[in-house]
Chains A and B, each alone.
Chain A
Amino acid sequence: MGRVLDIDALIGDPQTRIIVCCGAGGVGKTTTAAALGLRAAESGRRVVVLTIDPARRLAQSLGLTTLDNTPRPVADIDDTSGGSLDAMMLDMKRTFDEVVEAHSTPVKAEQILANPFYQAVSSSFAGTQEYMAMEKLGQLRLEADRDPDNPRWDLIVVDTPPSRSALDFLDAPKRLGSFLDGRFIRLLAAPAKAGGRAYLKVFSAGVNIVTKTLTKVLGGQMLSDVQTFVAALDTMFGGFRKRADHTFALLSDRTTTFIVVAAPERDALREASYFVDRLDEEEMPLAGLVINRMYRVSAPGLSAARALGAAEELGDEESGSSSDVTQGLLRMHAIQAEIADRHESLAKRFVAGHPGIPMVEVPAASGDIHDLVGLRAVGGALAGH
């Protein structure tokens, strides 16, 4: 076993201001984020948890019954240590709309909000969730810092979107940046700005080919929607870019820390591996790895092989009702011990491949987690209790 991830030290450190939970889909990222937030709040931190797409009952346990894009206090937490817990679910369209409204004139904002291209981008485009999660994170941080003497929150816990790849979250600001700096955006913005094709001639010969092809492929109407959209957004692009850069910088700041969440399965651990390497490459601060749903047996002193052998011996005896029961228990134990061994060896292999990365294992619960009691138990397990 390598180094242990000390969750209590992490959440107890006032220098820790942002915790980002990332990992493949289906590994229990949201549960981990919520459990961390609850534990931190009950130890005295003022916490806000930003979740992206929580399961219905988990959301209910956090009081997230309405989707209004604003952090709401979670009821029934133990606040004897002076902490508080707010939670919110990201509404990406609303977040995008708010950005538009905040950074353009009312007339322009109205134009943008009504543009069909904008409506599609803001509600369905495959990367919007990542951008908007970033945007929201930036906003929450600003809000938290508004009054340094009496901060509304001193810890933000973020659950990353269920992306195509866990890495999308990190790439979102850069991708937006390179698009905004790119030639293509200027090309799109140009005709609407200068009022026609004449202006384009000074650009380059390639422009004609591009515009012609785009018209051919996209159709003239879609192209003109795109152009109107880009032109309308043009004035706020600077702001977009600046904030995306700012949030990216925030992520590499030493008050931010990443927790990679995985399950003891080959695919989830592979994704975790990518993420760990990538964070390292970007020099992002990684606190460690959480392996959820580790199967554990309650009688670890009995090996799978020994249990199976004993069950067979009992099977050879004259059948009696109680030894049938014991036989069943032993066979069941053998199967569970085998799974537990496999999980353990997957975890060990990960540690061997990534020496020095602190890790904590959370045992599999026998039921689903959807209330504060369950989250508290997960929090305890995260802290090694």
Chain B
Amino acid sequence: MAPDAGSARDTDWDGVRLHIVTGKGGTGKTTVAAALALALAAEGRRVLLAEVEGRQGISQTFDVTPLGLTEVRVAHAANGGEVFGLSVDAKAALLEYLQMYYKLGRAGGVLEKFGAIDFATTIAPGVRDVLLTGKVYEAVRRPRDHRAKGPGAAPAYDAVVVDAPPTGRVVRFLNVNHEVADLARVGPIRSQANSITAMLKSPQTAVHLVTLLEEMPVQETVDTIAELRAVGMPIGGVVVNQVREEILTLDVLEAAARNAISREDVAADLKRVHVRATDAIVDGLLSEARDHAERVTLERTEAEVIAGLGRPTYRLPSLPEGVDANGIREMAETLMTQGMA
């Protein structure tokens, strides 16, 4: 198994080598996956960050040139750690697979010419997902030194992080075996799908969910966890992203919600520090406070729903500057402090 010699700290996911990150669109799952990869790479480790939807989210997150078909380093982490990036391409994965297992050579070209490759990667059901997850499977199992094989060999990557499809599609994506079971009852596609599923369902894997403290993303998180559980996928942590800093005390929030903050007092305070206390500004501030109180109440409800899931939960603060390369590092630090990596 993976030598864990470099690990000086206890994390919640020791022993997990494949981290799958999903979340509803707009929750920031790509950034969280990137931050997790950086956090895992600390202390001199090698981590692969893979995307499977061809969005080039990784290269944009790390501000490097678009990823091609090879794994390239996209970031350095502490103490010589490295994050490599890969945009998994179904077609390339198929050709590589055919070459690796069938030594196809010329036939690959003929298949391509006949449109068979396109058929397999875009039209045939499930095959695309088998190929994409298959490439991830290969990366997890790849030995560092290709001559050294077997269970004792050091792996090429200490961990692999996948920026997976969003919550709506992720279970279907991961449960490839189920997809192809009706189609390929025997044969190599079937056995490949079986091996992939075995790894995905093993304790080496964890599926993490990214959410915001909003109704729809939280609902999708709850639904997805239930779906993952139903198919026997190992559920990881819940990452609550873009958590707002709490500025107003509970008293003030309650007063704001009840319209009980004194206009006159606020206006007098503003005047003392030479802010033009026009009606527009005073009423504006009070109405912002009211909206904020409403939002905080909703967020509390959603936070309770998440707590009720009983999963390790991590909170990433909202970065008012937006997320850039430095923001990712900050997020990685936070994840480490909270024990995710």
Contact = CB atoms under 8 A, between A and B. Distances in A.
B26 A121 contact: no
A222 B25 contact: no
Interface in A173-228: 175, 179, 182-185, 187, 206-207, 209-210, 212-214, 216-222, 225-226
Interface string B150-186: 0000000000000001101100100000010011111
Nearest to B101: A217
Nearest to A322: B265
B123 interface: yes
B187 A368 contact: no
A206 B114 contact: yes
Contacts of A329: 248, 252, 261, 266, 285-286, 288-289
Contact of B53 (A165, A263, A331): A165
Contacts of A120: 125-126, 179, 182-183
A367 interface: yes
A113 interface: no
Contacts of A263: 26
Count class of interface residues, chain A: 35 or more
Contacts of A217: 98, 102, 187-189
A366 B247 CA distance: 17
A224 to B, nearest CB: 11
A323 interface: yes
A213 B94 CA distance: 13
B325 interface: no
Secondary structure at chain B's binding surface: helix, strand, loop or mixed?
Answer: helix
A179 B115 contact: yes
Contacts of A125: 123-126
Contacts of B295: 366-367
B138 interface: no
Interface string A59-90: 00000000000000000000000000000000
Contacts of A25: 24-26, 166, 168
Contact of A298 (B262, B270, B283): B283
B124 to A, nearest CB: 8
A197 B298 CA distance: 66
Interface stretch (A12-20, A231-239, A336-344): A336-344
A298 B116 contact: no
Nearest to A214: B116
Contact of B275 (A210, A306, A328, A367): A306
Interface stretch (A3-11, A32-40, A137-145, A264-272): A264-272
B269 A323 contact: yes
Interface string B275-318: 11010111111111101101100100000000000000000000
B25 A26 contact: yes
A333 B321 CA distance: 15
Interface in A304-355: 306-307, 310, 313-314, 317, 322-333, 335-336, 338-339, 342
Interface string A89-126: 00000000000000000000000000011011100111
Given A120-B126, A164-B165, A314-B273, A298 B183 contact: no
A328 B249 contact: yes
Contacts of A220: 187
B128 to A, nearest CB: 6
A298 B288 contact: yes
A6 B244 CA distance: 34
* Max count, chain A CB within 10 A of own CB: residue among B30, B184, B262, B276: B184
Interface string B184-222: 111111100000000000000000000000111101000
Interface of A: 24-27, 53, 55-57, 116-117, 119-121, 124-127, 162, 164-165, 175, 179, 182-185, 187, 206-207, 209-210, 212-214, 216-222, 225-226, 263, 265-268, 270, 297-302, 306-307, 310, 313-314, 317, 322-333, 335-336, 338-339, 342, 366-368
19 contacts: A24-B26, A25-B168, A27-B26, A117-B183, A124-B125, A124-B126, A162-B166, A164-B55, A179-B122, A182-B115, A184-B119, A209-B111, A263-B26, A298-B285, A314-B272, A322-B266, A322-B269, A329-B289, A332-B248
Interface of B: 24-27, 30, 53-55, 57, 60, 98, 102, 104, 106-107, 110-111, 113-116, 118-119, 122-126, 128-129, 165-166, 168-169, 172, 179, 182-190, 214-217, 219, 244-245, 247-249, 252, 255, 261-262, 265-266, 268-270, 272-276, 278, 280-289, 291-292, 294-295, 298, 320-323
